Structure 1
């Protein structure tokens, strides 16, 4: 992977007005398979390539590989780390080798989710009604890949609440397909889910109350990078530090991608419709 050494224009350059000039602007962005991560990674790839002549590679890897890759310099940056709880175990072994930068989304959610028509409101209630919440013929919680932080927390929740259930790990799309099928049929199903996620715009869902706090309190999403990225590319660091999204902006980006069915095409359409927001990041980066 080539490192960047950039000749920068003023920080006030706008997305529609030209790119910083340099002969070598290659970036590798480490990604994972969460819906919001796919959305913002494709958004930034398009912005940096089409507006600023970067060469951006998106590398989809597991969480452990993502953090070790950043620490080793195999990746330049990654756009999502949940703190102070969810991703702390992944960061801890590399705390001195990864730079955690600014928050771009405040107030996440994480936990067990059911359709709002489900007649339970808490995880302890789930323990008493576990036989009603089945997947593929057995009492189960349907989750995402086993290397994810939410999968690990769900195993802790199963133990803490003595749930007579197993976690079935799947891909994010497979989990959402199962949720869609159950929802349309009015059937009970419990899944692991997080906010921000486009599902909350498409379905009427609710988090199960977690009185023991296994899933932690609401968190914030930061971006992170190899330690020398700031020195190599201060323009990019300033821009990403100025980047902010909320439920409306991020939800609309994810919903556009889900509707179109292609991350790049969906992100490109969203960018076209949200230039004022994007330009505000450039203005903030210049301050």
Structure 2
């Protein structure tokens, strides 16, 4: 009888441990529609599911919903926060709750972008040439969704430089389709863009100089997490803190995705070709 009770107790402990381990391997990543965010989220989903049997869910939401969701533990992690400026306003209400972790990309860019053939170099010049940059009959700056940080900064730039233009917000793919159409015809167009982005490898583009520094200086991208995540999953925390990408590695990942037309297929190809780099990141958790 004593042996049976001991066996049952041991079985119960084993079952509980197995259940806890399985629960630990469930991961919800909050994402947004920026090209590099989609790229790295799919990359990590594939790595963690294929190598370590994680069950990873990608949840695409607005910026506001992302930050509140992390604070409420609806998501476990998100892979992109730009600091010290771009995402500071989203972080501010939750800065005492969210965990800002390791930096994985340094030297971002953000601002208004035109094709290199455009006879314009600064944002103030847009005030005089606004009529040339029309969209559907109105002088316009083409942007992404209205809830994004770059959209808010662009509204500030329009006011700061007194531009007789409006920002037309749409999705990232719609904006890029408009850029492509204008580029093929060598027509004037101004869009909101950021670095890293695959567009700078695909097209010959330039940032307009921003003498009032509305868009700020170069920044750093970090990953961040819900309250208590780093204690709940110290292994993944160590791995993600060891993760670093540069223009070559991140640009290559985004280019594969753009060429494939599918984030999973493109990420799979990139992973196959970059095993040594991935192994370096994963070694931090050993």
TM (norm. structure 1) is 0.92
Query: Which structure shows the bigger proportion of residues in helix conformation?
Result: 2
Indicate the RMSD between aligned Cα atoms, in angstroms: 1.4
* 1:262 corresponds to: 262
* 1:85 corresponds to: 85
Q: Which stretches of structure 1, 4 residues or more, deviate above 4 A after TM superposition? A: none
SS state of the match for residue 21, structure 2? Answer: coil
* 2:225 corresponds to: 225
* 2:130 corresponds to: 130
Deviation at 1:76, TM superposition (A): 0.1
Aligned equivalents of 1:82 and 1:184: distance in 2?
32
Counterparts of 1:2-151 in structure 2 under 5 Å? 22-24=21-23, 25-151=25-151
The Cα offsets for residues 248-286 of structure 1, whole Å up to 9 and x where unpaired, read as 000000000000001011101100000011011123444
Aligned equivalents of 2:283 and 2:209: distance in 1?
40
Deviates more, 1:23-32 or 1:235-244: 23-32
Counterparts of 1:148-187 in structure 2 under 5 Å? 148-187=148-187
Aligned equivalents of 1:122 and 1:23: distance in 2?
54
Aligned residues: 269
Aligned equivalents of 1:182 and 1:209: distance in 2?
21
Gaps of 5+ in 1: 1-5, 8-20
The Cα offsets for residues 8-27 of structure 1, whole Å up to 9 and x where unpaired, read as xxxxxxxxxxxxx9333101
Counterparts of 1:173-252 in structure 2 under 5 Å? 173-252=173-252
Deviation at 1:31, TM superposition (A): 0.1
- Asked if structure 1 preserves the Cα contact closer than 8 Å seen for 2:236 and 2:285, the reply is no
Gaps of 5+ in 2: 1-15
The Cα offsets for residues 168-211 of structure 1, whole Å up to 9 and x where unpaired, read as 00100000000000000000000000000000000000000000
Deviation at 1:135, TM superposition (A): 1.0
- Asked if structure 1 preserves the Cα contact closer than 8 Å seen for 2:63 and 2:148, the reply is yes
Aligned equivalents of 2:97 and 2:243: distance in 1?
23
Aligned equivalents of 1:59 and 1:129: distance in 2?
41
